[in-house]
Amino acid sequence: MDSTDLSVLKTAIEWIESGRSTALATVVETWGSAPRPVGAWLAIRDDGQVVGSVSGGCVEDDLISRVQTEILNQDTPELITYGVTRDEAARFGLPCGGTVRIVVEPRPDVATLRALLERIAIKRLTLRELDTCTGRSTLHDATRGDAFGFDGRIMRSFYGPRWRMVIIGAGQLSQYVSEMALAADYEVIIVDPREEFAEGFTHRAIEFRRDMPDDAILALGIDGHTAIVALTHDPKLDDMALLEALKSPAFYIGAIGSRTNTTKRRERLALFDLSQAEIDRLHGPVGLFIGARSPAEMAISILAEVTAAKYRVPIVQKRAIPESDLQHRHLTLDAMSSACAP
């Protein structure tokens, strides 16, 4: 799955190279409850076809009309503001009086866009600087710490996998998690030294490593833009990864397993050179409680928890077992033991 931003870039290039006039619109500032963040972008073709979004559908119709009738005939970008007044916000459907400012580039340079796509394909973090007075754009190397910026003239857009997810284990659940992570603009790395799992991942956007998990964590240079998720169900592999992960600056560290197994894992980790504060960083069982049963649903719960950690939202949707459920489980196990007794 391609992320929305990558789809916009690819489609814009295809349209321009096929001879269609195309404009790029990018959100540069928001106030209030604007529905799309800065950096979100939209490609608009001369016949009104669009890909992407700058407002979730609130202002697109008006923007398309302005691009077709005015902006595509201009030589330089234009800055458009929607929702300055409460009446305008209501007119364009912006929630709670939100305001959004959008830079629209008429006929962007396709060679620059093609070079940007090539850099993204090799996971090269890139900043694109657009001078809104001249319409000239240039590409520069970036770091994961860089962010979108606009000073009234220069728009600095960040592209490439700013966030990274390292998944320990190459089972079926990992496949779903990795696909969803790619769609959410993560660089995805799968680590699994087991021979029997080596053939499962053929997606060209996923890096597959055969290292031992602890060696891989050390070699990857984990930073604060990295999430680490252990999904092998094998304590020997998951715990090896966690011993190094919990000492790293990763923004999220989680491991699959029941509550009982998670408690045992914490006890094992305490036997090594980890502080209690480091052990407490572990999210386990991994994922938010949403009643997930299938691998795809479990992947949704994992990505939801990682997303909450990414944006520093309190993670509260975790399941606690009521005492009545525990008693019921004990009674069920007792009944099973009696039925199976010789």
Q: Is the pTM of this model over 0.75?
A: no
For residue 299, tell me if it sits in a domain.
yes
| C-alpha Rg value of the chain to the nearest Å | 24
pLDDT one-digit tens code per residue, 173-190: 999 999 999 888 899 999
pLDDT one-digit tens code per residue, 270-325: 999 999 999 999 999 999 999 999 999 999 999 999 999 999 999 887 765 444 44
9 and 148 assigned to the same domain? yes
241 and 150 assigned to the same domain? no
CA–CA separation, 207 vs 283, rounded Å? 24
How high is the pLDDT of residue 337? 41
65 and 105 assigned to the same domain? yes
Q: What is the CATH number of the domain that holds 273?
A: 3.40.50.720
For residue 66, tell me if it sits in a domain.
yes
136 and 188 assigned to the same domain? no
Chain centre distance of CA 182: 7
How high is the pLDDT of residue 195? 81
Last residue of a domain, one of 139, 159, 179: 159
Contacts of 247 (CB under 8 A, 6+ apart): 274, 278
145 and 177 assigned to the same domain? no
Could you report how far apart the first and last alpha carbons of the chain are, in Å?
A: 54
Residue 82's DSSP bridge partners are 100
How high is the pLDDT of residue 120? 86
Quote the Cα angle for 325-329-333, to 5°: 170
- Domain total in the chain: 2
CA–CA separation, 25 vs 119, rounded Å? 21
What is the spatial order of strands in the sheet that 149-150 belongs to? 137-141, 126-131, 154-159, 149-150
37 has pLDDT over 90:
no
Return the amino acid letter for 217.
Answer: I
For residue 332, tell me if it sits in a domain.
no
How far is CA 35 from each of CA 50, 129, 308, rounded to the nearest angstrom?
A: 18, 24, 18
21 and 98 assigned to the same domain? yes
In which domain, by residue range, is 20 found?
A: 4-159
How far is CA 71 from each of CA 51, 74, 127, 287, rounded to the nearest angstrom?
A: 17, 5, 25, 46
124 and 14 assigned to the same domain? yes
282 and 169 assigned to the same domain? yes
